[in-house]
Amino acid sequence: MADPPEDTPPAYADDGEAAAAAMRGQQAAYSWLMDRHRTAVFRFARGQVGDEDEALDITQECFVAAFAALRRYDPSRSFRTWLLAIAVNKCRDWARRRAVRRFFTFAAPLNEAMPVADTAPDPESAAASNEGVRRIREALAALPANLREPLVLCTIEGMSQAEAAEVLGINRKAVETRIYRARAKLSETIG
């Protein structure tokens, strides 16, 4: 039997095997893990921040942080859950930075703050032709983070409530309650 071509990426049995290979310095293992999980991380980040460019930046930051901390990954746990927990923290960091920037924008004299403020709609909103999708995204972005996070993890990412609880560091009942409240708020907003 012939060997596969040298440019064929290696296949790993699971995330744990790929993580172990990555810790040994195998670049292909990093790529394999990133290819396998980047869409989920991006979708989660976009659901949290509402902006595709910001979500791409957060996704990149998440993988950089994950690979830097790979030695702390416990292969007995789900790699996806571990990675999304990092993404939750990166999104929270983004929200804090945004709040600080907003504060300083308003603190500056108006003539100095104008070049800082970007009043143009984000590219995703400008390109969206479906009014319903735009309204849902806006309503989702307006939810408090503690309601939005479990809703996005369970509804968009398809995680179980137990998995979302593990990612968020809360119990399953809290996830269930927050999802219920998030859906109620969305119903009020979207009507």
Tens of pLDDT, residue by residue over 15-42, are 999 999 999 989 999 999 999 999 999 9
Distance CA 105, CA 60 (A): 26
Locus of tokens 């990133």: 34
Q: Which CATH code is given to the segment(s) 14-127?
A: 1.10.1740.10
Q: Any idea where the domains of the chain sit in the sequence?
A: 14-127, 130-191
pTM of the predicted model, to two decimals? 0.61
Question: 62, 61, 58, 60: which is closest to 50 by C-alpha?
Answer: 58
CA 71 vs CA 16, 33, 67, 147: distances in Å: 12, 15, 8, 31
Positive or negative: CA dihedral 181, 146, 123, 107: positive
Tens of pLDDT, residue by residue over 142-173, are 889 899 999 888 888 888 999 999 999 999 99
Tens of pLDDT, residue by residue over 71-112, are 999 988 899 999 999 999 999 888 888 776 665 555 545 455
Q: Which CATH code is given to the segment(s) 130-191?
A: 1.10.10.10
pLDDT at 60: 94
